[in-house]
Amino acid sequence: MGKFSNVAHYQDFTELKKILSASAANTYDMDKIEKAYKFAEKAHGDQRRVSGIPYILHPVSVACIVAELGMDTDSVCGALLHDTVEDTGVTLEEVTKLFGADVAKLIDGVTKISKIPYSTREQQQAENIRKMLIAMADDIRVIIIKLADRLHNMRTMDCMPEQKRRDKSLENMQVFAPIAHRLGIKTIKDELEDRSLQYLDPIGYKEIEDDLLMTEEDRDKFIESIKNQILAKTEGIIPGVYISGRVKSINSIYRKTYMQGKTMDQIFDIFAVRVIVDTVSDCYNVLGVVHDIFKPIPNRFKDYISMPKPNMYQSLHTTVLDKNAIPFEIQIRTWEMHYTAEYGIAAHWKYKLGMGAGGKNNDKMEENIKKVKDMILDQLEAEDVTDIAKKEYQKRFYGK
């Protein structure tokens, strides 16, 4: 559908191997992963999805999402095997014997989350959120696999009845997308929300999508012009500057237009240019260059480097005007900040595995992961969980 028409809904083991081999930061145990794939393939046998596709393609596709997040070997194995205990005759004891206690623990956690009886009633949703957050506190990899599972299910939802598509979409908005947000996994959060919005309000989604598509060529030219201006001013002064452009997610625009009553012209960050550099000092140097080229909009600068968000997000944000008074946002960050911004806490497995055991950076990553766990649990202690679910629902569908 529209924005997602080119997304591959199912991936096979060959594609998974390509993703794993392309990862420079992680050293994967390919023998263990291939063993997990063959075991899952045999366990699922002739099982098929509702669409008629062989079932094994679903766990492989989930494993691809997990691998793209930079997760470790056991996480990939857990993704490949995540439905074997629930949907086949495989036992946890078998998994433990063949793949170790860690993989079995991940599968057990995902299975328990899958058995939570979801409902559109706010109290039931609140209980779900509480249970899932507690599960995260034990091993965050469990929820990352579950998020990948939910995302792939949404990518293949067209074959399901309309009411089921709407029910699953509402669950995403109330439970899964907010959790992805709390973990800082922007890639999953944005796609879950956009795909869910397609089913919850297809007319509103289409209107925004059409409005964006109408100006696609001009938008690309605009972003390219901004990139070239920044590169011209930083060349020879700041090394290794990388710049990319993005358009705000459809669900984010939807919230501002339909819930806050804004027009497209009143949204300053529909367009954004992201500048990635090697060091923190380079971030501030780029900021100076940007404010020299473009006119900053007052009260639209935020320094999340010196004051990171609770989910570890770091970046400099400034909203500026080009020579034609078109507003756009510029985000400036280092590569490490970028991976954390896109993949959240999942990015820390990537860095952890790439730094060698026992290093100081490993200790820092463990400390950060614990910090996020504590932050999530503190949220549960601080306010009634029913209020969390209610606020998420009202914020997304009523703008309250």
Q: Three-state SS string across the chain, please?
A: CHHHCCCCCCCCHHHHHHHHHCCCCCCCCHHHHHHHHHHHHHHHCCCECCCCCECCHHHHHHHHHHHHCCCCHHHHHHHHCCCHHHHCCCCHHHHHHHHCHHHHHHHHHHHHHHCCCCCCCHHHHHHHHHHHHHHHHHCHHHHHHHHHHHHHHHHCHHHCCHHHHHHHHHHHHHHHHHHHHHCCCHHHHHHHHHHHHHHHCHHHHHHHHHHHHHCHHHHHHHHHHHHHHHHHHHCCCCCCCEEEEEECCHHHHHHHHHHCCCCHHHCCCCEEEEEEECCHHHHHHHHHHHHHHCEEEEEEEEECCCCCCCCCCCCEEEEEECCCCCEEEEEEEEHHHHHHHHHHHHHHHHHHHHCCCCCHHHHHHHHHHHHHHHHHHHHHHHCCHHHHHHHHHHHHHCCC
The arithmetic mean of pLDDT across residues 55-61, rounded, is: 96
Sign of CA dihedral 122, 128, 132, 134: positive
pLDDT value of residue 349: 61
pLDDT value of residue 393: 40
pLDDT bin (cut points 50, 70, 90) of residue 270 is confident
Task: Determine whether domain 7-201 maps to CATH 1.10.3210.10.
Answer: yes
pLDDT value of residue 353: 47
The arithmetic mean of pLDDT across residues 276-284, rounded, is: 96
pLDDT value of residue 364: 60
The arithmetic mean of pLDDT across residues 187-213, rounded, is: 89
The arithmetic mean of pLDDT across residues 333-345, rounded, is: 86
pLDDT value of residue 46: 93
Q: Residue 371 burial by CB count (10 A; 0-12/13-18/19+): exposed, middle or buried? A: middle
Residue 398 has pLDDT above 70, yes or no: no
Residue with tokens 């209610």, as numbered in its chain = 390
- Are 7-201 and 206-345 the same fold in CATH? no
Residue 39 has pLDDT above 90, yes or no: yes
Provide CB contacts within 8 A for 93, sequence distance 6+: none
Q: Could you tell me the residue ranges of all domains in the chain?
A: 7-201, 206-345
Residue 62 has pLDDT above 70, yes or no: yes
Residue among 134, 169, 138, 75 at smallest CA distance from 385: 134
The arithmetic mean of pLDDT across residues 126-148, rounded, is: 74
Sign of CA dihedral 355, 356, 360, 366: positive
**86 has catalytic annotation:** yes
Residue 81 has pLDDT above 90, yes or no: yes
Q: Return d(Cα 351, Cα 367) in angstroms, integer.
A: 13
pLDDT value of residue 55: 95
Q: Which long-range contacts (CB under 8 A, 24 or more apart) does 55-61 make?
A: 55/83, 55/87, 57/10, 57/11, 57/12, 58/10, 58/83, 58/152, 58/156, 59/83, 60/10, 60/11, 60/12, 60/13, 60/15, 60/16, 61/9, 61/10, 61/11, 61/152, 61/155
Residue 98 has pLDDT above 60, yes or no: yes
CA atoms in the 13 A half-sphere facing the CB of 71: 33
Q: Which of 15, 29, 68, 87 is catalytic?
A: 87
CA 342, chain centre distance (Å)? 6
Residue among 139, 181, 187 at smallest CA distance from 309: 181
Pairing of strands 327-334, 271-277: parallel
Q: Which residue has the higher pLDDT, 398 or 245?
A: 245
**What kind of fold does domain 206-345 have according to CATH?**
Beta Polymerase; domain 2 (3.30.460)
pLDDT value of residue 350: 54
Residue 19 has pLDDT above 60, yes or no: yes
Residue 386 has pLDDT above 90, yes or no: no
Residue 360 has pLDDT above 50, yes or no: no
Rg value, the chain, Cα: 22
Mean pLDDT of the chain: 82
Tens-digit pLDDT profile for residues 300-335: 999 999 999 877 789 999 999 988 888 899 999 999
Question: CB of 62 within 8 A of CB of 145?
Answer: yes
**Cα→Cα distances 360→283, 312, 354, Å:** 24, 18, 13
pLDDT value of residue 374: 65
Least-confidence region, from 90-94, 315-319, 341-345 = 341-345
Q: Which two tokens stand for residue 390?
A: 């209610």
* pTM for the full predicted model: 0.78
**329 has catalytic annotation:** no
Q: Which of 86, 366, 374, 387 is catalytic?
A: 86
The arithmetic mean of pLDDT across residues 271-294, rounded, is: 95
Q: Calculate what percentage of the chain has a pLDDT beyond 70.
A: 77
Tens-digit pLDDT profile for residues 210-254: 877 656 677 778 889 999 999 999 998 999 999 998 878 888 888
Least-confidence region, from 73-82, 127-136, 242-251 = 127-136
Q: Which residue has the higher pLDDT, 119 or 21?
A: 21
pLDDT value of residue 262: 81
pLDDT value of residue 268: 78
Of 130-134, 145-149, 205-209, highest mean pLDDT: 145-149
